[in-house]
Amino acid sequence: MKISSLFSLLLPALVIASCGNPTTVKEENSTEEVKDSLIFPGEKHFASLRQLTFGGDNAEAYFSFDGSMLTFQSNNKAWGLNCDQIFTFTIEGADLKDHKPQMISIGKGRTTCSYFMPGDTSILFASTHLGGDDCPPVAERKHGDPYLWNIYDTYDIFVSDLNGNIIQQLTNEPGYDAEATLSPQGDKIVFTSTRSGDLELYTMDIDGSNVKQITNELGYDGGAFFSTDGSKLVFRSSRPKTPEEQAHYKELLSKGLVAPTEMEVYICNVDGSEMQQVTHLGQANWAPYFTPDGKRIIFSSNHESERGFPFHLYLVNLDGSGLEKITQDDGFDAFPMFSPDGKYLVFSSNRNNGGNHDTNLFIAEWKD
Question: Mean pLDDT lowest for which of 7-21, 106-120, 168-182, 259-273?
Answer: 7-21
* pLDDT above 80 (res 143): no
The pLDDT assigned to 139 comes to 81
Distances from the Cα of 185 to the Cα of 77, 115, 188, 231, 233, angstroms: 36, 13, 8, 10, 13
Q: Read off the pLDDT band of 37 (50, 70, 90).
A: confident
**What is the separation, in whole angstroms, between the first and last Cα of the chain?**
30
Average pLDDT value over all residues in the chain: 90
* pLDDT above 80 (res 135): yes
The answer to whether 158 touches 125, Cβ cutoff 8 Å, is: yes
Per-residue pLDDT tens digits for 67-126: 999 999 999 999 999 999 999 999 999 999 999 999 999 999 999 999 999 999 999 999
Per-residue pLDDT tens digits for 321-367: 999 999 999 999 999 999 999 999 999 999 999 888 899 999 999 99
Alpha helices (H) along the chain: 4-17, 243-254
* pLDDT above 70 (res 3): no
Report how far residue 298's alpha carbon sits from residue 308's, in angstroms, rounded to the nearest whole number: 19
| Domains of the chain as residue ranges with CATH | 4-366 (2.120.10.30)
In the chain, % of residues over pLDDT 70: 89
